[in-house]
Amino acid sequence: MNGTSDARRLGILISGRGSNLHALMDASAHGKLDARIAVVISNRADASGLDRARDAGIATIVLDHRGWASRDEYDLALARELKHRGVALVCLAGFMRLVGPALIEAFPNAILNIHPSLLPSFPGLNAQRQALERGVKITGATVHLVTGELDGGPIVLQSPVSVLDDDTVDSLSARILIEEHRIYPDAVRAVLSESWRLDGRRFVGSEEP
């Protein structure tokens, strides 16, 4: 992937194991995603996803969110690191920080997040538990563009997951995660295709992944 242009360079933000980072790495390594991961940044030094990235020869940075004067100052530092490495598309992969205006403005319509529900249902934390408590029969995974509204940006791709009568949070989460790993590379590919537009809140006109 050394010949990948800057327009196809990804920056991945993580806070923990980064299982969706692994899915993107595998898709890139096996030619299923024509993009290069330029850098992986974590706000936690103990994030295990950093080790996987380092083992694959991907540049990693720890940028602790603590000690900054404001969220904007931290987000501006993130933006500088990403821009310095020529990142065109930012992918959140278990990044447990709200993204503020400073980063969104640095990468307009170029930050993706994946969420374990069929948005707009069950935004925020503990989406799988929310689904079980509400008794829905179908939930799933959503990849969306990041805006200032929590889990409220235009939806790029979704995949449904049935909720079984004997599901627990763990069992439901595990099945949703399988779909997350499947659709995240597809959503990245759709956005990188540049054959899409926004119609209000709707992401339309992309090629089928």
Sheet bearing 202-204, strands edge to edge:
60-62, 36-42, 9-14, 89-92, 111-115, 138-145, 155-162, 202-204, 197-199
CA-CA-CA-CA torsion sign (83, 85, 88, 92): negative
Does the active-site annotation cover 84?
A: no
Active-site choice (22, 65, 84, 115): 115
**Which distant-in-sequence residues (6+ apart) come within 8 Å of 138 by Cβ?**
118, 160, 161, 162, 163
Record the tokens describing residue 160, joined without a space.
């449904």
CA distance 153 to 191: 14
Phi, psi of 179 (to 5 degrees): -70, -35
Range list of β-strands (E), the chain:
9-14, 36-42, 60-62, 89-92, 111-115, 138-145, 155-162, 197-199, 202-204
* Residues labelled catalytic: 115
